[in-house]
Structures are given as C-alpha cells and as structure tokens.
Amino acid sequence: MTDIRKVVTVVDEVLLELGRPVAAPVRRVAAAAVIRNPWAGRGFVADLQPQVEAVAPGLARLLTGRLLSELGGEEHVEAFGKAAVVGLDGETEHGGALIHTPYFGNVLRELTEGTSIIVFNDDRLPAGEPLTVPLWHKTAAATRSHYQTVQIRIPDAPRPDEIVVIAAAASGPRPNARIGDRRTDPVVRLADLEKLESAR
C-alpha cells in the first residue's frame, strides 16, 4: 500500500432527537485513511489501474475493519457509504479511482455482508474542509429510512499531495424515521399533482 500518514475514526451516536428518545439509537461511523497520492507529481497519468490494484484493497480492508470494530461486527452494519477527498495538487479522478472500482467497493461490500451498490461522495478540497458521506441500506438501497449522512473533517488533511479515503457505516436507520417507504408509497404522477393544484 501507499504511505498512510494517519487513520481517523469518527463516531456519532444519536440518542435524542428534539429532546425525544430515538426509537432505535443509531451509531454512525466514518473511518478515514490519509494517504500520499500515488499519482502526485507525475502529471497526467493515463493508466491508473496498477496503483488502484496495489492500494485500494488494503485500504478497504483497513477501513472496514475500523467500522466493524466500532459497530460490533458485520451483523450490526445496516447502512454503508464511501468517499474520497483529493488534495489540491491531485485530480478528483484520483480519489474516484481508489473508491469506485471493485478493488475497494467489492471488499467493503463483502466484509459488511452487503449487496447494494455503495452510495458515495468525492471532491477536491484544501485541508480541513468537511465532507459529508451519504449512507443507505447495505442490502436494500431503496429503503428510505436508512438514507442518512455522517460528516468527517480532518484539520490537517488532505495536504496538496494527499488523498483521504473514507468508508462509513451505520447501525440502523435515521433517528425516528417515519416518512414511509417505496413499498407503501401511493402512485404519484405529475398529471395527478397538476389536477390537485388546479382544484385548490
């Protein structure tokens, strides 16, 4: 693996929402590795694959291990997500290369016993800027109760020649989720909405 300068884990546990106890307390975790950008200083690199194969699987194992440690095992992971923040001397594609291929995603999915495509965020930012990582259900991506986010900010990362690679997970749904689900939604069409609006 490429050089890892530090690993940061953020844990967010929600117990009250508007002063009301949440029906199912949820723990959200983001684990981030600050690494040297393997393409930094090389100009435009046409083929990113060799570094992806060398770096991404190890990062996925490391970060997923941190998630499972904080949540108590894969059986306690209900939602997951991923993200990358590239320093200003890199390309957004560098972060994408490390998280948007099977070398990262399939490892994260298998270790958490997930089957869904993994929702993501990526950006190029200066050090210290926050990034919001989206999450959704690990086996049923359309399960609206599990649409949520966790935010992470590392004050000294990414430096211009670094990338922050993030895996995130949650032990349950949003606090007091109650907006229904696609399985119970009524059929809503634009024409029907226009009729309702004109009748008001």
Pairing of strands 79-86, 119-124: parallel
48 closest CA partner among 98, 102, 106: 98
Place of tokens 């546990």: 13
Residue 10 CB partners (closer than 8 Å, separation 6+): 29, 30, 31, 32, 150, 151, 152
What residues pair up with 82 in beta bridges, in sequence order? Answer: 120, 167
User: What does each of the 200 residues of the chain score in pLDDT, given as a tens digit?
Assistant: 559 999 999 999 999 999 999 988 899 999 999 999 999 989 999 999 999 999 999 999 999 999 999 999 999 999 999 999 999 999 999 999 999 999 999 999 999 999 999 999 999 999 999 999 999 999 999 899 999 999 999 999 999 999 999 999 999 999 999 888 877 888 889 988 888 888 87
What residues pair up with 13 in beta bridges, in sequence order? Answer: 27
What pTM was estimated for this model as a whole? Answer: 0.92
122-177 tens-digit pLDDT:
999 999 999 999 999 999 998 999 999 999 999 999 999 999 999 999 999 999 99
Q: Positive or negative CA dihedral for 175, 178, 179, 185?
A: positive
For residues 108 and 60, the answer to whether their CB atoms sit within 8 Å is yes
**What is the rounded distance in angstroms from the CA atom of residue 141 to the CA atom of residue 139?**
6
- Go through the chain and tell me how many residues it has: 200
| H-only helix segments in the chain | 49-71, 92-99, 102-112, 190-199
